[in-house]
Amino acid sequence: MTWDEASVAERAAAFLAAHDPVAMDRLEFLRARFDAGLAWVHFPEGLGGLGAPRELQAVADRELRGTPDNQPGRIGIGLGMAAPTILAFGTDEQKRRFLRPLWTGEEVWCQLFSEPGAGSDLATLATRAVREGDEWVLDGQKVWTSSAHTARWGLLLARTDPGVPKHRGLTYFVCDMRAPGVEVRPLRQITGEAEFNEVFLTGVRLPGALRLGETGDGWRVAQATLMNERVAIGGMPVRRTMMEVVADTWRSRPELRTHDLHQRLLRLWVESEVMRLTAARLREQLAAGHPGPEGSGMKLAFARLHQELSGLEVELLREDGLGYDDWTFRRPETVDFLGREAGYRYLRAKGNSIEGGTSEILRNIIAERVLGLPAEPRADKDVAWKDLPR
Amino acid sequence: MTLLYTEVEEELRAAVRDLLADRCSPSAVLGRVESGTPYDAELWKTLAREIGVAGLLVPEELGGAGASAREAAVVLEELGRAVAPVPFLASAVLATQALLTAGGEAAGELLGRLAAGEATAALAVPFAASPYAPPAPAAALGEDGTVTGTVRGVIGAEIADVLLVPVRLTRGTALCAVEASPAGSAGGTVRVTPATSLDLTRPIATVSFASAPARVLATAGGPETPWVREALLRGAGLLASEQLGIAEWCLATTVAYVRERRQFARPVGSFQAVKHRLADLWLEIAGARAAARNAAARLAEAPVAGPPGDDAAVAVTVAVAVAQAHCGAVAVHAAEECVQLHGGIGMTWEHPAHLYLKRAKADQIALGTPGDHREALAGPADLPAPV
Ligand SMILES: Cc1cc2nc3c(=O)[nH]c(=O)nc-3n(C[C@H](O)[C@H](O)[C@H](O)COP(=O)(O)OP(=O)(O)OC[C@H]3O[C@@H](n4cnc5c(N)ncnc54)[C@H](O)[C@@H]3O)c2cc1C
């Protein structure tokens, strides 16, 4: 059937009539919501969706407002990156096994891509996966892995063939974070806490069923993850924006206002509005089936705006800006760019232009893929990975 | 409300673009700028009469196309892309909006002539005026019904058949229509003196009225001139689309150049310092497109001005102010990058880049500076100034 606003709203109402969100166990309620196709309506039926247009999700969310949610701040990597990748490249069995507990929040996911020697140049990564019978044996080290300490599964990119150029010898796996040989150590961040970790993989054995996509096709699968990561970081409609947070501070502290800050704040307000409109236009293009190149720019704009706004807020606060709420070394369960106080927001925003592809790399992508400017001369093309200069 | 372009809008764009490609090449524009007739009357006639752009904002019952700000915006994108020396903004947007706000029979009759391309009008108000602080009328209406006074910095006056002049009354203000060449009048004159202008493709002029015979179109009781404010605000919203067109030409031209131009045995466009600047510019322009489209869509939704302060009026003001605050600066940035990344050739009179730089810089001042528009947002955004 073809879904529209009315029929999705009707389905949500019928679901609510049959499932009392107050009386039911939270997890049972979420599982039932998934089974009713109201988790992500654009996913196929049977996998938490209705096969409906993506923008109708807002209708389901609106109808189900106030009911238990899946705490998206805990499972951002699962929702934003793992789910679309599994949907695009997973086997039927993998989709059935992973998507439901991913969405309900029963299973947290992390992303095991970056390594000490491979960040922006991700394709140069060195973690090895060697086939032994029906199993793969993994050895290597991952780094900057957000939520590895809470994760049940990891999206992992490993080298299966060192004898071919770097992009070609990669394979994509789902890593069992409970497997023997997986060791997660916290890495303390500039905020004081440890959202990310380093992950050591020593003789980790993964069954063949945990390979995602074909052997040697890992780079293509990883592209889907990375594309979704940028959209997840930069383009999602959010409940609250950094602009609103800073505007509230401005309104509640009239004694701190100066003309200079006012000018700069208005400038950033305009930029926020322009970004909101650009994202709205992008979503319209997507809905009309013409994904525009604006997508690659959203994360770039988002990072700059977050950094400038949060920096302005600390400056605006003057004496209070000299303080900081808490440097205690913690391992948080959620990621919240807007959480805590101004100093935290300022420091956390610094990561926005690094995580998910740095702003420099995003500018390269826009320049080459959108504007068609020539690539830099490269030393690593057509050279087997094992022969690259190190 | 959509921020995309509709099929009808794309068709209109194609018609305008084809005509401009044929009749308004950069070298043709450059050839005209010092010719003494800066506006291209023949091109304007074709645009106005054959493509019908002059009547886009005029309702059908008055002889117009009954289209909306969305279509006018698309025309402005194309005119900006070509820095076309035609009085579309002056006559079909600013003067037309003033007449639409004035209403009444005389204004309606004049709108019909403008829409049909039989006449061209100019609003005798400085192009630099801000919609948030419209200037007091520089001319006065005498008891004999003639207008006397001088207005500086007016666009489109050289090519206008009719000048719309805000005037002082003993009590209140009025909007008057004055024929540019008063026929058989008893000594009344209108003198249009071109100024040496920064913008070569849309020059300004000083207009002096000496006992010029006038027709009163509308009056207001207080010191304000609502027709002028409305024309300036709506004109500012649409100017954003012209600025978008300017910026798009500058980016496309620069990208094409740096892909071809080689230094150090490689295209200069392969140097990251150059690529990153153009990537940033592209992002600014993506924002300009969204903001300009939003302003046009909001104006189209509220074709008649509501009472100031009502929700629709505030939504229009916010959309216009956001678009101007952003697009004004983006067009200038794009033109400056265009000059810089062309190197020496960008500094020459022969290359058209300077036409865009001059238009962009003049547009940044026109109808309120980006700073004026930002300040106008303090109220609606609830970001009060320091006390
Ligand atoms: C908060 C946070 C969370 C993260 N979470 C995860 C995670 O969960 N999983 C995961 O796999 N990774 C994660 N990352 C890692 C992130 O993806 C990498 O840090 C990022 O890709 C950059 O790699 P790098 O740190 O090695 O820096 P490098 O690649 O060494 O870059 C250093 C500097 O050089 C610049 N540079 C590099 N190459 C170029 C080039 N070609 N042109 C111009 N400039 C260049 C970069 O922009 C940067 O400024 C996270 C990072 C942060 C900050």
pLDDT tens string A108-138:
999 999 999 999 999 999 999 999 999 999 9
Look at residue B361 and give its three-state secondary structure: helix
Distance CA B228, CA B131 (A): 8
Protein residue closest via CA to atom 7 of ligand 1: A145
* Residue B383, in any domain of the structure: no
Output the pLDDT for position B115: 98
* Residue A145, in any domain of the structure: no
Does ligand 1 come within 6 angstroms of the Cβ of A144? yes
State the closest ligand 1 atom to the C-alpha of A350, by its place in the atom list counted from 1. Answer: 53
A112, A350, A354: which to mutate for ligand 1, most atoms within 8 A of CB?
A: A354
Q: pLDDT-based confidence at B184, cuts 50/70/90?
A: low
Report B:265-284 residues touching A (Cβ under 8 A). Answer: 266-267, 269-270, 272, 274-276, 278-280, 282-283
Q: Looking at the structure, do residues B231 and B155 belong to the same domain, yes or no? A: no
Please say if the pLDDT value at position A235 is more than 70: no
Distance CA B87, CA B187 (A): 29
Any idea what the CATH number is for the domain that residue A355 is in?
1.20.140.10
Q: Looking at the structure, do residues B106 and B230 belong to the same domain, yes or no? A: no
Output the pLDDT for position B118: 97
Top residue of B322, B338, B341, B377 to mutate, by most chain A CBs within 10 Å, is: B322
State the closest ligand 1 atom to the C-alpha of A77, by its place in the atom list counted from 1. Answer: 8
DSSP state of A119: S
* Residue B385, in any domain of the structure: no
Residues found in chain A: 390
Given a contact cutoff of 8 angstroms between Cβ atoms, the answer to whether A113 and A158 are in contact is no
Any idea what the CATH number is for the domain that residue B133 is in?
2.40.110.10
Output the pLDDT for position B322: 98
- Long-range Cβ contact pairs of B72-75 (< 8 A, separation 24 or more): B72/B238, B72/B241, B72/B296, B73/B238, B73/B240, B73/B241, B73/B292, B73/B293, B73/B295, B73/B296, B74/B5, B74/B9, B74/B10, B74/B12, B74/B13, B74/B16, B74/B241, B75/B12, B75/B13, B75/B16
Cβ neighbourhood burial of B139 (10 Å; 0-12, 13-18, 19+): buried
Q: Which residues of B touch A247 (CB under 8 A)?
A: 381-383
**Planar angle of CA B107, B113, B117, nearest 5 degrees:** 140
Q: How far is A12 from chain B (nearest CA, A)?
A: 26
Q: How far is B200 from chain A (nearest CA, A)?
A: 30
* Residue B52, in any domain of the structure: yes
Q: Does B2 touch chain A if contact means CB atoms closer than 8 Å?
A: yes
Q: Which residues of B touch A362 (CB under 8 A)?
A: 279
CB contact under 8 A, B2 and A284: yes
* Residue A153, in any domain of the structure: no
Q: Looking at the structure, do residues B116 and B129 belong to the same domain, yes or no? A: no
Q: Looking at the structure, do residues B214 and B236 belong to the same domain, yes or no? A: no
pLDDT, one tens digit per residue, over A131-179 is: 999 999 999 999 999 999 999 999 999 999 999 999 999 999 999 999 9
Q: Looking at the structure, do residues B109 and B14 belong to the same domain, yes or no? A: yes
Does ligand 1 come within 6 angstroms of the Cβ of A332? no
Mean pLDDT of A270-297: 84
Domain count of the fold of chain A: 2
Q: How far is A244 from chain B (nearest CA, A)?
A: 10
Cα atoms in the 13 Å half-sphere on the side-chain side of A314: 20
What is the four-CA torsion angle of B32, B38, B39, B42, rounded to 10 degrees? -40
Q: Looking at the structure, do residues B245 and B360 belong to the same domain, yes or no? A: yes
Nearest to A124 by CA among A109, A137, A140, A111: A140
Q: Average the pLDDT over each of A334-338, B47-51, B294-298 and give the range with the smallest value.
A: A334-338
The interface predicted TM-score (ipTM) is 0.95
Q: Which of A288, A294, A368 sits opposite B286 (nearest CB)?
A: A294
Output the pLDDT for position B353: 98
DSSP state of B91: I
Does ligand 1 come within 6 angstroms of the Cβ of A368? no
Output the pLDDT for position A377: 86
Q: pLDDT-based confidence at A5, cuts 50/70/90?
A: very high
The tokens for A374 are 């020539």
Q: Is A214 a catalytic residue?
A: no
pLDDT, one tens digit per residue, over B50-63 is: 999 999 999 999 99
Does ligand 1 come within 6 angstroms of the Cβ of A198? no
Nearest to A182 by CA among A206, A160, A159, A158: A206
* Residue A94, in any domain of the structure: no
The tokens for A227 are 């594309």
Q: Looking at the structure, do residues B131 and B100 belong to the same domain, yes or no? A: no
pLDDT, one tens digit per residue, over B306-328 is: 777 788 899 999 999 999 999 99
CB contact under 8 A, B270 and A251: no
CB B346: neighbour CB atoms within 10 A? 20
State which of B160, B189, B220 marks the end of a domain. B220
Distance CA A124, CA A386 (A): 10
Any idea what the CATH number is for the domain that residue B337 is in?
1.20.140.10
Interface of A with B (CB under 8 A): 247, 250-251, 254, 257-259, 262-263, 265-267, 269-271, 273-275, 277-278, 280-281, 284-285, 288, 294, 297, 300-301, 360, 362-364, 366-368, 370-377
Distance CA A195, CA B108 (A): 67
Q: Looking at the structure, do residues B235 and B368 belong to the same domain, yes or no? A: yes
Output the pLDDT for position A283: 83
Output the pLDDT for position B36: 86
Cβ-Cβ contacts under 8 Å between A and B: the total is 130
Output the pLDDT for position B99: 98
Does ligand 1 come within 6 angstroms of the Cβ of A351? yes
pLDDT, one tens digit per residue, over B95-104 is: 999 999 999 9
Helices marked H in chain B: 7-23, 26-32, 41-45, 69-81, 96-102, 105-115, 226-260, 272-301, 311-341, 353-365, 370-376
Please say if the pLDDT value at position A294 is more than 80: no
Q: Looking at the structure, do residues B333 and B239 belong to the same domain, yes or no? A: yes
* Residue A172, in any domain of the structure: no
Top residue of A55, A258, A274 to mutate, by most chain B CBs within 10 Å, is: A274
Output the pLDDT for position B310: 86
Given a contact cutoff of 8 angstroms between Cβ atoms, the answer to whether A147 and A188 are in contact is no
Alpha-carbon distances of A112 from A115, A116, A175, rounded to whole Å: 8, 12, 8
Per annotation, catalytic residue among A107, A115, A193, A229: A229
Output the pLDDT for position A380: 86
Please say if the pLDDT value at position A293 is more than 80: no
* Residue A336, in any domain of the structure: yes
State which of B220, B254, B275 marks the end of a domain. B220
Q: Average the pLDDT over each of A50-59, A177-186, B68-77 and give the range with the smallest value.
A: A50-59
Bridge partner list, B121? B162
Please say if the pLDDT value at position A295 is more than 80: no
State which of B54, B86, B120 marks the end of a domain. B120
State in Å: Cα B280 to ligand 1 middle: 19
Percent residues over pLDDT 70 in chain B: 99
Please say if the pLDDT value at position B29 is more than 80: yes
Residue of A nearest to B3 (CA): A281
Distance CA B130, CA B347 (A): 31
Q: How far is B233 from chain A (nearest CA, A)?
A: 17
Output the pLDDT for position A237: 58
* Residue A105, in any domain of the structure: no
* Residue B1, in any domain of the structure: no
Tell me which residue range forms the domain holding B33.
7-120
Distance CA B233, CA A144 (A): 50
Q: Which residue has the tokens 């039926």?
A: A45
Bridge partner list, A199? A142, A184
State which of A35, A69, A103 marks the end of a domain. A69
Output the pLDDT for position B364: 98
Q: Which residues of B touch A245 (CB under 8 A)?
A: none
For chain B, counts of helices (H) and of strands (E): 11, 10
- Across chain A, mean pLDDT equals 94
Output the pLDDT for position B377: 98
Mean pLDDT of A34-61: 95
Q: Looking at the structure, do residues B181 and B249 belong to the same domain, yes or no? A: no
Q: Which residues of A touch B259 (CB under 8 A)?
A: 372-374
State which of A19, A54, A69 marks the end of a domain. A69
Q: Looking at the structure, do residues B57 and B192 belong to the same domain, yes or no? A: no
Output the pLDDT for position B186: 61
The tokens for A63 are 């109808």
Alpha-carbon distances of B382 from A13, A248, A250, A266, rounded to whole Å: 37, 10, 10, 10
Nearest to A134 by CA among A234, A28, A34, A207: A207
Q: pLDDT-based confidence at A1, cuts 50/70/90?
A: confident
Distance CA A81, CA A110 (A): 9
pLDDT, one tens digit per residue, over B345-375 is: 999 999 999 999 999 999 999 999 999 999 9
Q: How far is A82 from chain B (nearest CA, A)?
A: 28
Residue of A nearest to B278 (CA): A367
The tokens for A349 are 């925003």
Q: Which residue has the tokens 């006065």?
A: B140
Output the pLDDT for position A228: 82
Tell me which residue range forms the domain holding A20.
8-69
Q: Looking at the structure, do residues B207 and B231 belong to the same domain, yes or no? A: no
pLDDT, one tens digit per residue, over B189-235 is: 999 999 999 999 999 999 999 999 999 999 999 999 999 999 999 99
Q: Which residues of B touch A250 (CB under 8 A)?
A: 383
* Residue A318, in any domain of the structure: yes
Output the pLDDT for position A39: 97
Output the pLDDT for position A292: 63
Output the pLDDT for position B117: 96
Q: Which residues of B touch A368 (CB under 8 A)?
A: 275
Nearest to A79 by CA among A46, A34, A113: A34
pLDDT, one tens digit per residue, over A167-215 is: 999 999 999 999 999 999 999 999 999 999 999 999 999 999 999 999 9
State in Å: Cα A120 to ligand 1 middle: 5
Output the pLDDT for position B34: 84
Does ligand 1 come within 6 angstroms of the Cβ of A146? yes
Q: pLDDT-based confidence at B258, cuts 50/70/90?
A: very high
State which of A40, A69, A98 marks the end of a domain. A69
Domain count of the fold of chain B: 3
Q: Which of B259, B275, B322 sits opposite A270 (nearest CB)?
A: B322
State the closest ligand 1 atom to the C-alpha of A348, by its place in the atom list counted from 1. Answer: 1
* Residue A89, in any domain of the structure: no
Does ligand 1 come within 6 angstroms of the Cβ of A145? yes
Output the pLDDT for position B309: 78
Given a contact cutoff of 8 angstroms between Cβ atoms, the answer to whether A227 and A357 are in contact is no
- Across chain B, mean pLDDT equals 96
pTM: 0.95
